[in-house]
Structure 1
């Protein structure tokens, strides 16, 4: 199927390629440095993909040789220079909904979100990546938290999510040092899966297509919700929820198809319902 590109965005590209929606951070001349426009457009594109019944996975990648260099340093420089002439910046207002923060909204999407880290990623770009479901990183790429080297702190939910992904000590070491971490080390930490740089995005797409073809989209969406809600539940609550969801699964089209294709020894044709 030919990919279809949506022309309405300025700092990102959005295209649908079969069952995949691909969001490309698109400021290659600035290593896709983060802007408010980019943030707003990415949020809108995520919701656009979630609403499209044909889309079964979302891939986020970067244009050119980088993924995201972090916040646009021009904007940070302006903020630093103005601090002596005006009142301190007010803290950003946030919702009290765990799944309604700057990046945590991705956790409540039923569609799996896959980061295809094609090049350097730092700061807020890395924070965003932490809230994707699966992370693939090209060999030779590097990541950094960067905050401590800019006189900043662990922002945008990174102090909450990073330890849950790689443990407290590893998270603190990366946050304290702000050092560069290569693909091989990031994989050893359990933060990413490594893929060759040659043909990287095509390899991520191949993985995603196979995933959403061989596994029920309904099952994927339900299990994604279970995992992230469980972060705020005790065991008995998560167990009770799983029992209820299993009964609901028995009534689904995808359950019937899952049994049928196995018995008939053919490829599945899941509907997501």
Structure 2
């Protein structure tokens, strides 16, 4: 597929999806929405990809919705978008929402936040599994200052990342949040000097791609996203079931063998 508003590449078993409207601070558009969704699907089904990095070109990750598009937004657009075809028919139906398909991707998705992260840009960063940010990045939910509500599931995701009180503050005030505060409240996992952000992010991504079992990562990710819907007993039962599967898998045998033989693992994801 030819992409219009993103760049897509795969190298060293890492797929990179780059929002590519740097002249507009990567403001979100319907075309970008289509491109990102397709690229995420392509990454999720590519056996040569073990980790996905989502980032922005230029000086911003994503400064929010394109205001020209927002001015002419038809309220029916929200209704139509709720009827998108499923990301994958074999995955949980409650993950088949406009942007909530990220948890159904069986690979780690890392947001590499290279600058302003606002509104719908913050929504996408939150749906990623990990967030590495440049230490000059500024964050804002933005919605309340545009007369909008907490959109696209951010009211569910944000409290689970930063806690209820912090989420209430960030959503009600829509104030600007510094990178230092973002790290303190757990909004991001790691801060890096801008010139080292790419190096540090890809070093982490390569570590996952080269040294961690793909099958283990897939199950662990699913476990963490399913826990809010489970009791402790249900989580334990599910973990025991998955442990039996893992013990019979080739990744477990390879993990033990590589440790005993003091060599890098050669995981297959099985």
Q: String of CA shifts for 1:133-153, please: whole Å, max 9, x gaps.
A: 001110101110001111111
RMSD, aligned α-carbons: 1.6
Aligned mate of 1:164, from 130, 152, 160: 160
Give, in whole Å, the separation in 2 of the partners of 1:92 and 1:195: 39
Aligned mate of 1:59, from 53, 64, 83: 53
The reply to whether residue 224 of structure 1 matches residue 221 of structure 2 is: yes
The reply to whether residue 92 of structure 1 matches residue 92 of structure 2 is: no
Give, in whole Å, the separation in 2 of the partners of 1:90 and 1:47: 22
Aligned mate of 1:198, from 154, 177, 195: 195
Deviation at 1:90, TM superposition (A): 7.1
Deviation at 1:271, TM superposition (A): 1.2
Q: String of CA shifts for 1:114-165, please: whole Å, max 9, x gaps.
A: 0000000110111111111001110101110001111111001000110011
Q: Which runs of 5+ in 1 are unaligned?
A: 1-6, 83-87
Question: How high is the TM-score relative to the length of structure 1?
Answer: 0.91
SS of equivalent residue, structure 1 residue 41: helix
Deviation at 1:185, TM superposition (A): 0.6
Aligned mate of 2:116, from 115, 120, 126: 120
- Residue equivalent to 2:102: 106
Q: String of CA shifts for 1:175-217, please: whole Å, max 9, x gaps.
A: 1111111111100011102111113122211110012222111
Give, in whole Å, the separation in 2 of the partners of 1:113 and 1:172: 26
Q: String of CA shifts for 1:72-125, please: whole Å, max 9, x gaps.
A: 01112234xx8xxxxx65752536922111222110111110000000011011
- Residue equivalent to 2:149: 153
The size of the alignment, in residue pairs, is: 260
Which protein is bigger by CA-based radius of gyration?
Answer: 1
Q: String of CA shifts for 1:208-257, please: whole Å, max 9, x gaps.
A: 00122221111011110111111211111111111000000011111000
Moved more, 103-112 or 92-101: 92-101
Contact 2:135 2:179 (C-alpha < 8 Å) held by counterparts: yes
- Residue equivalent to 2:130: 134
Give, in whole Å, the separation in 1 of the partners of 2:165 and 2:108: 28
